[in-house]
A and B are shown apart, each in its own frame.
Chain A
Amino acid sequence: EVQLVESGGGLVQPGGSLRLSCAASRFTFSGYWMTWVRQAPGRGLEWVANIKKDGSEKYYADSVKGRFTISRDNAKNSLYLQMNSLRAEDTAVYYCVGALRTEGYWGQGTLVSVSS
C-alpha cells in the first residue's frame, strides 16, 4: 500500500519560515506529479502547489506565490515545501498528495500553526 508521510509542521511566528517534507514509500514517486493541499481548521480544501514528475514545472496558488517553494528529490522519494513569510492565514493541515486528480494518494497531513 502507498504510504506518504508528512513532517515538519509546528508552531511558528508570523513572518517565520518552515520546511515541510513528505516521504513516499511503496510508490513509484518519480512517476507522478505531486501536490501540496492544505485545509484550514473547519474549512475546505485548498490547492497550494504542484510539481511535475521530473521537477521541471512548478505551479502555485496565488495565495502562496512568491512565499512558498515546492521541490522534490526523486532519488530520496521525497517532496518538500519551503514556506517563508508565514501569515496567520497559512495555519492549516498540509497534505502531500500523489496523482491528485487520477489516483489520489494522500498523506495523513501535518499541522502548521502561525501565531505569536
Chain B
Amino acid sequence: QSVLTQPPSVSAAPGQEVTISCSGSSSNIGNDFVSWYHQVPGAAPKLLIYDNNKRPSGIPDRFSGSKSGTSATLGITGLQTGDEANYYCVTWDSSLSSGVFGGGTKLTVL
C-alpha cells in the first residue's frame, strides 16, 4: 500500500490530453516538492517534472505539473504513442523520514 495514491491506469487517444493525480497528506505532498517520472518497461525511470512544476532540460512543454494542498497532478497534452509508460510521483515524507513513491499509473494511448 503506497503512501501516495495514484490511479492504476489512465487512457486517451493520440492527440488528446490526460491528467494523472497523486494524492498524499500534510506530511508529504503538503509539506514538500513533488517530482514525476515515467518508465517504459525494461528501462530506468526518466525525470519529467521536479519541484512541482519545473521541467528538466529536454522535456517538452507537453508535460506539466501542478500541486494544490496535499495533491499533485501531472498533465500531458498532445498524446503520442511513445508516451505509453508507467508514471510515478515521488516526494519526501517528514513523518516517515523517508522518500515515498506513488504506486504508479499505466498510461495507454489508444
Contact = CB atoms under 8 A, between A and B. Distances in A.
Nearest to B33: A101
A107 B91 CA distance: 20
A102 B36 CA distance: 10
A104 B98 contact: no
A60 interface: yes
Interface residues of B, number: 26
B37 to A, nearest CB: 7
Question: How many A residues are at the interface, by size bracket?
Answer: 20 to 34
Interface of B: 2, 33, 35, 37, 39, 44-47, 50-51, 56, 86, 88, 90-92, 96-104
Interface of A: 35, 37, 44-47, 50, 59-62, 95, 100-104, 106-109
